Structure 1
Amino acid sequence: MILDDAAGPRRAVLVARAPDRGAALARLLQGAGHDVVVAPVIERAPADDVAPLDDAVRGLARGAYAWAVVTSVNAVDALVDAAGRTGTSLAASHARWAAVGPATTRALEAAGVTTDLVPAGDATAAGLVAAFPDPAVTDPDLPSVLLPLGDLASPTLDDGLAVRGWVPHVVTAYRTVHHALPADVVTRARSGGFDVVVVSSGSVAREIAAQVGTGTPVVAIGVPSADAARDAGLAVAAVAAQPTDDALAAAVASALDATAPDSLAAHPAATPSLSTKEHP
């Protein structure tokens, strides 16, 4: 918390994202009067071997897959890179495309790809599995699905689609690697200088716990991220109702309101309520 004689105390928020990915949320939070620091704790790196992804993108071009399923903006970026290396066009693929949520959909659109399936209300791998059609009805002759995933992805999507009758082809599209926070941010966080930290994935939550400890509560983009945060020893103050910047800003506001001095004085036993919806 930062004291501001003119406007009262300003709350401090650490958005643990890369500047380009965190800028829109930072603007919303700054517009609400908060002191915001944007700094990543992870970054995308190419797969150790890009040949399997390049081969998969060539397969998209020649019609080897009925569907391509994308669960992150990082995966879209990796696919675009692979298309550039192989001289192919994602937009020209005859496969249908599924995206986990709005950010991934926008990234695909920027690459010229029209999204055919986005789960309604459950922007997770499990939500994608539940929303997928029956291959016996839609693609009996070509039940193959391309899954370009990060190296730390859980088997939820792969296993779930296989149970549904699809034939998933998993390729590592990118690696998630450690990115050290600036020393001044670490010092500030370890000394209680932030009221909340925004985490957008389980990997981010684990890195926050490792780099700055577990003393600051977090606001999670969804239930899987919240679960990972708790597993890492972090207190979850709120969970966004949707995996969007607006919903994250609303969740931050809820968490900060619940921990405001006046609120704590009036309701000393109160704790922030958590959304039961599931998001990535």
Structure 2
Amino acid sequence: MTTSQARPLQGRRVLVTRPRAQAPVLATVLAEHGAEPVVLPLIAPTPVTDTSKLDAGIVRLARGGYRWLIFSSANGARFFLTRVQTLGYDERICQQARVVAGAATATTLAQQGVRADVTLTNFRAETVSAQLATASLTDQQVLLPRAAGGRPVLPHTLRQRGAVVDEVVVYRSAPVPESSAPLARWLRSGTLNAITFTSSSTVRHFMAALATEALTDWQQEAVVIACIGATTAATAQEHGLRVDAIPEQTTAAALVQALAAVFARRRSASAAAADGAPPRMLVTQEP
């Protein structure tokens, strides 16, 4: 096995923009594939200050008032379970409902002793309802913990199926102001080979950081952009970014594999171009 096969990202500097608590997972997988992870969190998830609606949802869950509990992100799961503990409940109250989560979020839940009854390989708002096609949602009570500013697609599609959805905001994604200067410096110098985005929030704060630094002339075509899912990719494209890699599964491992595939294709294209180039002529100077 060649080095490019065993470590397909050898020598590539890859920016990790996800929150500091989650960055090590992606950074580790990148390093295992030979990359040099550059960790620069662009967002910092923070719990909401007004927890009245969240608390009411947790109390109702503990009393068996919900049929479904749907987590759309690992951060949402963490903050929700932290609040459950703060209110004096055991995490196992979640099992009063059928728990639905993506693969990465299901792992986070399992670490806290909560079992996901339905694990979706590709958790995307537009497709969650379809992936629950065999379940009857008519008049079913659904608790949906989520981030502030979350897109309305998921609750809307669930309600179209007849579900009664309670949305509760559990956290907000705050910007990390000190990330703007180093980000602009690296982009100007061309030292980054790839950028990873793991949520729409990371994309929005990336663009905000560029605006703060008045950076409009960075060489985007020289940087591979990888987004963890279609929703994040759509946000990136809406902001004028070219997206090169979108994995089929919304996990760190799948994201790195998709990124490695892009560089592999580029190596193949470069090799093919070199093989097809006309022979170079050796020009000697006459005496």
Q: How high is the TM-score relative to the length of structure 1?
A: 0.83
Alignment deviations for residues 126-178 of structure 1 (CA, whole Å, 9 cap, x no partner): 22211331135xxx6xx211011111211111111111011001111111111
Q: Name the SS for the 1:154 alignment partner.
A: coil
2:118 aligned partner, one-letter code? L
Computed over aligned residues only, the root mean square deviation of the Cα atoms, in angstroms, reads: 2.2
Alignment of 1:49-68 (within 5 A): 49-68=50-69
Contact 2:122 2:250 in 1 (8 A): no
Aligned residue number for residue 187 of structure 1? 185
Q: Name the SS for the 1:135 alignment partner.
A: coil
2-structure distance, mates of 1:91, 1:267: 58
Q: Name the SS for the 1:228 alignment partner.
A: helix
2:262 aligned partner, one-letter code? A
- CA displacement at 1:25 relative to structure 2: 2.3
Aligned residue number for residue 3 of structure 1? none
2-structure distance, mates of 1:201, 1:71: 11
Aligned residue number for residue 157 of structure 1? 154
1:177 aligned partner, one-letter code? A
Contact 2:227 2:243 in 1 (8 A): yes
Give 2:225's match in structure 1, choosing from 213, 218, 222: 218
- CA displacement at 1:182 relative to structure 2: 6.2
Between Structure 1 and Structure 2, which shows a larger proportion of helix residues? 2
| 30-39 vs 54-63, which moves further | 30-39
Give 1:250's match in structure 2, choosing from 235, 251, 257: 257
Q: Name the SS for the 1:20 alignment partner.
A: coil
- CA displacement at 1:265 relative to structure 2: 6.5
Give 1:97's match in structure 2, choosing from 99, 107, 126: 99
1-structure distance, mates of 2:269, 2:28: 25
* Runs of 5+ consecutive residues of structure 1 not aligned to the other structure: 1-8, 269-280
Matched, 1:172 2:169: yes
Q: Name the SS for the 1:238 alignment partner.
A: coil
2-structure distance, mates of 1:43, 1:13: 20
Aligned residue number for residue 118 of structure 2? 117
Aligned residue number for residue 199 of structure 2? 201
1-structure distance, mates of 2:110, 2:272: 48
1-structure distance, mates of 2:56, 2:233: 35
Equivalenced residues, count: 253
- CA displacement at 1:118 relative to structure 2: 2.2
Alignment deviations for residues 230-255 of structure 1 (CA, whole Å, 9 cap, x no partner): 11111111111211122111111122
2-structure distance, mates of 1:115, 1:66: 13
Runs of 4+ in structure 1 deviating by more than 6 angstroms, as ranges, are: none
Matched, 1:233 2:240: yes
Contact 2:67 2:141 in 1 (8 A): yes
Q: 1:264 to 1:235 in 2, by over 3 A?
A: farther
Q: How high is the TM-score relative to the length of structure 2?
A: 0.81
Aligned residue number for residue 276 of structure 1? none
- CA displacement at 1:85 relative to structure 2: 2.0
* Identical amino acids, percent of aligned pairs: 30
- CA displacement at 1:125 relative to structure 2: 1.9
| 214-223 vs 193-202, which moves further | 214-223
- CA displacement at 1:52 relative to structure 2: 1.1
Aligned residue number for residue 271 of structure 1? none
